[in-house]
Amino acid sequence: MTKTWKRMAVFAVLALFIISMVPGAFAEQGENRGDDVTDTPDRSRKDSKTEELRMKKDAAVERVNKVRENIKEVRENVKEIRENIKEKKELYNEAKEAFLEKKEQLSELKQKARCTEESVDCNSKKKDLRKGVRDHLVKTIELIDSSLQKLQEQVEKSKVLSDEEKKEALQKIAVLEQELELKKTELQALADDMTNKELQIKIRELKDLWHKVQKEQRWIVTQLINSKQDNLVDIYVRYGERAEAQIVKLAEQGADVTLLEELLAKYNAKLEELKVAHTNAKTAWMNAKSSPEAMGKAKELQTVFREKATETKAVLRELLRQVNEMQKQLRDDSEPENENVAAAQETATNR
């Protein structure tokens, strides 16, 4: 009996030992499973969030770099345009100086070639005069071409001409430059012993070409001026509409807008005068396209338009100043009320 009891006691101790070991093993296994099951999603979410932040940062840096590149490109384009304008201006001045120099030389040759006797010296002077006329015509062509290049620059940098209008104007300029280059080549090909008749033919041809160039230049300049005027009138119309909307808003807020309405009425009257002046000037410039005599009238009406634009701008400036002052006054008046309301709310909250 005693042996049996001893055996049972040993088994009981072993059982208790085994049972006491099981929870620890299960707990350790559970912790290990917890590391695999619970911690892994947290780490994944953290990694995903970090990756997302990194991608956003990279995208922001890329956008900033792109903006910087665009700014740099714009600055380079502006610099290039300025350099082109400077270069073409210098070329025009050089062509003008050369033209005036040849003109002065031609005047001296004319004086020398007034001889009437039949002599070698007199014939030589008349020959020098013909060569001088030929060279002067070449310099005239170069000056005309330089003026076309300046006009081309104006068309290319215009912000008011449409793409179609620019394309049409640039095509016309290109055709004229080709015709001038051809005429220059023909003149340079004339021999030094050219006859008066040969020279007179080239003079007439160049004169006709110069009239053609003038006509096309007037048309292109007309397009530029009319487009600028159209754009200016549209700007003043939009400013008037914006000012009117602000006045309506001020009236709804309880402001006394009597003065503002009077200024707006004065501005609208000036705007109508500007529109009439614009229509008159535009019509005159269109007439000047085909009639050199109408150019004077167009310039006169252009001056009237500028004067009306100056008057309209002055009234608009005063109108906008008064509107800004009224808006500021309303903001200043509302600030004490807002402070009182905030103080009352704070007092009620403390109570």
Domain boundary among 173, 194, 215: 194
Side chain identity, residue 346: E
CB 158 within 8 A of CB 224: yes
Highest mean pLDDT among 16-25, 75-84, 88-97, 337-346 belongs to: 88-97
Q: Is 329 a residue whose pLDDT tops 70?
A: yes
Question: HSE of 285 in the Cβ direction (CA atoms, 13 Å)?
Answer: 25
* Percent of the chain at pLDDT exceeding 70: 67
CB 243 within 8 A of CB 321: no
Mean pLDDT on 79-91:
56
pLDDT in tens, 207-238: 999 989 988 888 888 888 888 888 899 999 99
In this structure, the answer to whether residues 175 and 107 fall within a common structural domain is yes
The verdict on residue 174 lying in a domain is yes
Mean pLDDT on 46-53:
73
pLDDT in tens, 261-291: 999 999 999 999 999 999 999 888 888 766 7
The verdict on residue 302 lying in a domain is yes
Three-class DSSP category at 253: coil
Q: What pLDDT is attached to residue 32?
A: 45
Q: At how many degrees (to 10) do helices 196-252 and 258-288 cross?
A: 160
Q: What pLDDT is attached to residue 222?
A: 81
In this structure, the answer to whether residues 236 and 294 fall within a common structural domain is yes
* Averaged pLDDT of the chain: 77
> What pLDDT band is residue 119 in, cutting at 50, 70 and 90?
confident
Q: What pLDDT is attached to residue 261?
A: 94
Q: What pLDDT is attached to residue 82?
A: 52
Three-class DSSP category at 113: coil
Question: What domain range is 144 assigned to?
Answer: 93-112+119-194
Report d(CA 21, CA 267) in Å as an integer.
98
In this structure, the answer to whether residues 239 and 327 fall within a common structural domain is yes
Q: At how many degrees (to 10) do helices 163-188 and 196-252 cross?
A: 160
CB 132 within 8 A of CB 109: yes
Letter string b/e over residues 116-143, b meaning 16 or more CB atoms within 10 A of that residue's CB: eeeeeeeeebeebbbbbbbbbbbbbbbb
Identify the H or E element spanning 254: none
Instruction: Name which of 14-28, 148-162, 215-229 the model is least confident about.
Output: 14-28
In this structure, the answer to whether residues 98 and 160 fall within a common structural domain is yes
Q: Is 344 a residue whose pLDDT tops 50?
A: no
Q: Is 171 a residue whose pLDDT tops 90?
A: yes
Letter string b/e over residues 263-284, b meaning 16 or more CB atoms within 10 A of that residue's CB: bbeebbebbebbeebbebbbeb
Number of separate domains in the chain: 2
Q: What pLDDT is attached to residue 285?
A: 82
Q: Is 75 a residue whose pLDDT tops 60?
A: no
CB-based burial of residue 55 (10 Å sphere; 0-12 exposed, 13-18 middle, 19+ buried)?
exposed
Query: Would you give the DSSP letter of residue 292?
Result: G
Residue corresponding to tokens 């270069």:
87
Domain boundary among 144, 178, 194: 194
Q: What pLDDT is attached to residue 145?
A: 92
Report d(CA 303, CA 277) in Å as an integer.
9
CB 230 within 8 A of CB 160: yes
The verdict on residue 157 lying in a domain is yes
* Percent of the chain at pLDDT exceeding 90: 31
Q: Specify the higher pLDDT residue, 51 or 314.
A: 314
User: Could you give the residue ranges of the DSSP H alpha helices within 163-195?
Assistant: 163-188
Query: Would you give the DSSP letter of residue 39?
Result: I
Q: Specify the higher pLDDT residue, 182 or 14.
A: 182
Q: Specify the higher pLDDT residue, 346 or 305.
A: 305
The verdict on residue 209 lying in a domain is no
Q: What pLDDT is attached to residue 92?
A: 64
Report d(CA 210, CA 144) in Å as an integer.
8
In this structure, the answer to whether residues 179 and 238 fall within a common structural domain is no
User: Could you give the residue ranges of the DSSP H alpha helices within the chain?
Assistant: 2-34, 40-112, 120-156, 163-188, 196-252, 258-288, 295-350
Q: Is 96 a residue whose pLDDT tops 50?
A: yes
Domain boundary among 178, 194, 210: 194
Instruction: Name which of 161-175, 227-241, 266-280, 322-336 the model is least confident about.
Output: 322-336
Three-class DSSP category at 293: helix
Q: What pLDDT is attached to residue 51?
A: 77
Report d(CA 335, CA 341) in Å as an integer.
10
Three-class DSSP category at 261: helix
Mean pLDDT on 233-244:
94
In this structure, the answer to whether residues 255 and 318 fall within a common structural domain is yes
> What pLDDT band is residue 175 in, cutting at 50, 70 and 90?
very high
The dihedral formed by the CA atoms of 101, 105, 106 and 110, expressed in degrees to the nearest 10: 160
- Would you state the structure tokens that stand for residue 74, as one six-digit string? 């714009």
